[in-house]
Amino acid sequence: MDFEFTEDQKMFQAMVRDFCAAEISPHAAEWDEAEEFPYDVVKKMAAAGLHAVHFPEEYGGSGDEVTFSIATEEISRACAGIGVVYLVSLGLGMYPVVMHGNEKQKRHYIPRVIDGAIVAFGLTEAMAGSDVAAMETKYARQGDHYVLNGRKIFISNGAEAEFVTTFATKDKSLGYRGISAFVVDKGTKGFSVGKLERKMGLHPASVAELIFDDCKIPVANMLGEEGKGFRVALEGIDASRVSIAAQALGIAQAAYDAAVTYAKERKQFGAELARLQAIQWMIADMATEIDAARLLIYRAAWLTKKEGHAPPKEAAMAKLYASEAAHRVCHKAVQIFGGYGYTKDFAVERYYRDQRITEIYEGTSEMQRWTIARQVLGVK
């Protein structure tokens, strides 16, 4: 078994790491404090070719899911808020188009994202989180248009997205079978952004309410077959779990790096913290958890590339373990910093806040365990 990246992947990783060191890391703290969306850096990322990663070559893309995971990890290591903007725009928001869009839709939307367009994924509602069948946003056909009515909440990139892939039901009594998928462009009459959430972390990225009030879109904007929207959403979420795991890994790696450096420099009781057994054991646990998470993530990414779709069990395992491992790593990093770790003067405070959401979005840890158990036990 070969666990090494290819030479091309290593070169790509080095390029992304250099880009992040120059354009993202120096500004991460100020973006976090200002809760400000950095449009300029998104444009620079697109110009550097980072937004072409893992899209099909025939639409101007390059790379694969492994390359996408590498980019997501490195960007999130520099700034997790930029990481979520990136992974939602290229991943979750676009999987419905890439997997289920027709040729015209792909040729229209994929090049826009490669050029730097920001995308959102509108699924969650006030009464429909993990229980997607409880969705209340409705659609009805009127001639050559569909009319959407409803509200989505907690939508990453919601305020900045140039278009959103979203979901609505024709008849709530049909449950999953009534749901269809659509793409709605910014500026469409009846489509607006509502409340912006104030969040614990990921401050550079918006989380917004999306409002559809007699929002009229062409029939051509339906993604996939009518009544198959639940499948479109589920396949997108399955695939996106690997990128969320990579985001969590990037945060954990940043926290670990900071803790190791600090432990070597900070002195207590006449010696560096790194010489104290209690600190050594924490560092050892952190290193082990990061390695285990990395192996799960890149196995899932490699299987996605090999099989052409995300394997549900392995993707859920990667997301579950990486997000919870990142929690433990960030907790220990703050502990190693002591009182300083609780202040905004040191980045571990930000890593701790940014990490927490990785255990919640794209399926909570509880939903990941449910997915894994069903795959292992063969039950539906």
Report residue 173 as tokens: 């009594």
How far apart, in whole angstroms, are the C-alpha atoms of residue 325 and residue 322?
5
How far apart, in whole angstroms, are the C-alpha atoms of residue 361 and residue 172?
24
Coil, helix or strand for 291? Answer: helix
Residue 56 vs residues 90, 95, 98, 167, 294: alpha-carbon distances, Å: 12, 12, 8, 24, 25
- Residue from 324, 359, 362, 366 carrying the catalytic annotation: 362
Residue 262 vs residues 84, 265, 287: alpha-carbon distances, Å: 27, 5, 15
Coil, helix or strand for 41? Answer: helix
Asked if residues 351 and 254 have their Cβ atoms less than 8 Å apart, the reply is yes
- Assess whether 314 carries a catalytic annotation: no
Asked if residues 148 and 212 have their Cβ atoms less than 8 Å apart, the reply is yes
The owner of tokens 């792909």 is 106
Asked if residues 200 and 356 have their Cβ atoms less than 8 Å apart, the reply is yes
How far apart, in whole angstroms, are the C-alpha atoms of residue 4 and residue 6?
6
How far apart, in whole angstroms, are the C-alpha atoms of residue 48 and residue 22?
13
110's enclosing H/E stretch is helix 103-114
- DSSP letter assigned to residue 146: E
Give residues with Cβ within 8 angstroms of 173, minimum separation 6. Answer: none
What residues act catalytically?
362
